Amino acid sequence: MKKRFYTIGSTMIFSLLFLFFVTACNNEDDHLSKGETARIQLKLTDAPALEYDEVNIDIQGVKVGVAEEYFYTDDPYLDEWDDAVWVDLKVSNPGLYNLLDYRNGETVLLAEGDIPAGKISQVRLILGEGSNVVIDGELYSLQTPSEQASGLKFNMHDVLQPNMMYSFVIDFDASRSVVRTGNNKYILKPVIRTYADAYGGSIKGT
């Protein structure tokens, strides 16, 4: 009788632990799903590049890649790519950004918007055809490699909690990102790092 009691007791304990685990997982999934959003800002800055008068990057759009397994959505306007869903941010001023205007700690707000809460994996900059460099007063077209036709992609990993505000900085190293190929031709091969500028604060109105 005692042996049977121990067996039943062990089974009940195992069942309770399993139920607790499943409930905890469901709660976590609910916390990062079902339409909950976080607000994100992306700022632009640059490291010194003394050899150029200007390094102008034509930025027309910004997208953030959110890992699909972290949220659920029926929005037909979200564009899927690999394991991420790309969400558009609102660009403050689409057009040319002279990277050299944002050195020595200076930043400019590039884009912002509300995105599904959860894991972000990448950022994609949609570039126009007007990028250029100015050297000794002469303007040269800055060509973009064909593999970047769908956008300049780079990693930015973090997990965004619902109803919170986040700010990240895109540090664009102009001096290492522009390559001269000869005959006064210049190609954009971006060297970029990203880092968090600020966390926290609730979204107003939520």
Mean pLDDT to the nearest integer, 11-15: 53
pLDDT range class, residue 87, cuts 50, 70, 90? very high
Mean pLDDT for all residues in the chain: 79
pTM above 0.85, yes or no: no
| CATH number of 112's domain | 2.60.40
Three-class DSSP labels, the chain: CHHHHHHHHHHHHHHHHHHHHHHHHHHHHHHCCCCCEEEEEEEEEECCCCCCCEEEEEEEEEEEEEEHHHCCCCCCCCEEECCEEEEEEEECCCEEEEHHHCCCCCCEEEEEEEEECEEEEEEEEEECCCCEEEECCEEEEEECCHHHCCCEEEEEEEEECCCEEEEEEEEECHHHHEEEEECCEEEECCCEEEEEEEEEEECCCC
Ranked by mean pLDDT, the top range of 48-52, 58-62, 117-121, 145-149 is 58-62
pLDDT score of 16 more than 80: no
Q: Are residues 42 and 8 in the same domain?
A: no
pLDDT range class, residue 53, cuts 50, 70, 90? very high
pLDDT, tens only, 112-162: 999 999 899 899 999 999 999 999 999 999 998 776 777 898 999 899 999
Mean pLDDT to the nearest integer, 174-188: 89
- Number of separate domains in the chain: 2
Q: Are residues 128 and 73 in the same domain?
A: yes
Q: Are residues 63 and 89 in the same domain?
A: yes
pLDDT at 46: 85
pLDDT score of 66 more than 60: yes
Q: Are residues 144 and 190 in the same domain?
A: yes
Q: Are residues 10 and 86 in the same domain?
A: no
pLDDT range class, residue 10, cuts 50, 70, 90? low
pLDDT, tens only, 90-101: 999 999 999 999
**Which of 7-16, 28-37, 108-117 has the lowest average pLDDT?**
7-16
Say which residue, 185 or 10, is predicted with more confidence: 185
Domain limits at 7? 1-31
Q: Are residues 50 and 1 in the same domain?
A: no
